[in-house]
Amino acid sequence: MADHDAVTKNGVLIDGMPLGPRFYGRRKGRPLRASMKRLLDEALPQFAFDPARPIDDQFGHKADRYLEIGFGGGEHLAGLAAAMPDCDFIGAEPFINGVASLLRHIDEQQLGNIRIWPDDVRLIMPSLGAASLAGAFIMFPDPWPKKRHAARRILQTALLDQLAVMIRPGGRLVLASDDPTAKSWLLQAATAHADFMWTARSPQDWRQRPAELPETRYMKKADRAERQSSWFLFQRCGVAD
C-alpha cells in the first residue's frame, strides 16, 4: 500500500510529524477491493487535507467551511457537499475503509469541495484557526457505553474547547446518535459548555432529522431496528461579524 498505510503507528503520527493523542477504535476493517485500494493510492493524495498548508490554498478560494468529525463511510459528508456546492468540507476519519468509501462517493458524484484527513481529528485542530468554521458535525459516534470507557468518548471538554475556538459566533455544532448512552453524554457535554447554546424549543426539534441533513443508509437501518435517533443542534454563542 501507499503512504496512507504508513501515516500512523500505534495511534501516533510518525515520519517527523508531532506525537498525537491516544486513539481508540478501528483503523482497518475487511481487506479492501482492488478498486478501493486504487482510490486510496490515486485519489487520496488529491483530496488529502494538509495541516501545513493554508486552507484557502487547498480549496482554491474562500468559502464557508464545515468539519465532520468521524465521517464513517462518508455518505453524510458527501451528501452535504453535494447539497452545498458553494461551501467547503473537511472530514476526519481514522478508519481507512471509511476513507476509501468517501473517496468512492467523491468519484461517483464528482465532488471537489471535500478534503480528507485520514486520522485522528485532534491532530489537525490547532491548524484550522480561530473562527475558521461555519459549523461542525459529530454524527453517530462510537458510544463507548461502559462507564470505564467514558474517557474514550470523542466529545470531551477539551474537544469542545477547541471547537469553540474554531467555530465562529453564530455557527453550528450538530450532534446525532441512536444510542441512549451516547445521546446522554453528547447532550450533557455540549449543554454544560458555556460557548454553545442548545437551540431546541420542543421535543420535535431533537426527535426529527433536520431537513437540510441528508438521510443515510445507517439512519434508515436504525429506523428499521426501531432505534430512535436524536439530533442536537447547538449554536456558537457570541455576535457574528
Domains belonging to the chain, first-starting first, are 3-236 (3.40.50.150)
Determine the Cα–Cα distance for residues 48 and 51; give it in Å rounded to an integer: 10
Q: Is the pLDDT of residue 151 over 90?
A: no
Report which of residues 28 and 55 the model is more confident about.
55
Q: How large is the average pLDDT for residues 64-83?
A: 96
Q: Is the pLDDT of residue 21 over 80?
A: no
Question: What percent of the chain clears pLDDT 90, i.e. is strictly above it?
Answer: 70
The SS3 call for residue 198 is: strand
Lowest mean pLDDT among 5-9, 31-35, 45-49, 110-114: 5-9
Residues tagged active-site:
142
Mean pLDDT of the chain: 87
With a CB cutoff of 8 Å and minimum separation 6, the contacts of 208 are 231
pLDDT at 111: 97
Q: How large is the average pLDDT for residues 34-57?
A: 93
Q: How is residue 159 written as a grid cell?
A: 474537544
Closest by CA to 98, choosing from 28, 24, 21, 5, is 28
Q: How large is the average pLDDT for residues 79-106?
A: 96
